[in-house]
Amino acid sequence: MPRRRPGALRAERGTYEDRRPPAWTRPLPPVDRLPPDAAAAAHWGRPGRAAEIAELLGRYRSFLRRPGSRLLLGPSPCPGCPGCARDDIAVVRDELADLQRALPPVARTALGRVLRGLDAQFLRRTLPDPDPPADRWADWRGRPRAWWHQRLYEDT
C-alpha cells in the first residue's frame, strides 16, 4: 500500500481543524479584549494583522464612547483613501467583519462575542435611516450591504 504524503493528510484535515497555535504565539501582545488563546490564534492565523484588529476595535469603541444618547455616523471626507475611509465607522465595521471571516475558529468565535456586544450597543445608540441613498443599500457590484450601513448619517 503506498504511503500518503503529509501535505495530502493536512489538506484532508483542513486548514485549522484540530490544530492549536504554536508555542511562539503565546508571548505575543494581547489583542484588545480577546482571551489569550484567541489572541494567539489571531497572531498565528493572520500574521501581522492582529494589531490591525486591535486598532479597528479601538476605533469602534471610541465611536461608541461618544457622549449623548443618540449617535450619528460621520461620512468619510475621502472614501478612496484607505486611511481616511476609516473615519466612517461603517467601513471600520466592514473591515472587522472581513478580518473575522479570515481568522481561525478560536479567534473567530472570540472576536464574534466581542463584536456582538459592540453591535448591540451600536444598534441601540444609532437610528435607522428611513430613506437611505441607493449606495447604502448595495455596493458597486449590486450585493446588499450590511445593516450598519443603513443607519442615520450626519449629512442627512
- List, for residues 81-99, the tens digit of each pLDDT value: 777 777 788 889 999 999 8
pLDDT for the residue numbered 51: 82
Q: What percent of the chain has pLDDT over 90?
A: 20
What pLDDT does 17 receive?
Answer: 47
pLDDT of residue 68: 87
Alpha-helix residue ranges (DSSP H) falling in the chain: 6-13, 36-45, 50-64, 82-85, 89-102, 105-125, 134-137
Contact 115, 96 (CB under 8 A): yes
Residue 64 to residues 29, 51, 124, Cα–Cα distance (Å): 24, 20, 10
DSSP three-state, residue 144 = strand
CB 39 within 8 A of CB 31: yes
Give the mean pLDDT of 143-151.
85
Q: Are 31 and 43 in contact (CB under 8 A)?
A: yes
Task: Give yes or no for residue 119 having a pLDDT over 90.
Answer: yes
> Residue 86 has what pLDDT?
79
Q: Which three cell numbers stand for residue 150?
A: 443603513
What predicted TM-score, i.e. pTM, was given to this entire model?
A: 0.76
Average pLDDT over residues 45-69: 86
Q: How confident is the model at residue 18 (pLDDT cuts 50, 70, 90)?
A: low
For residue 35, how many other CB atoms are within 10 A of its CB?
14
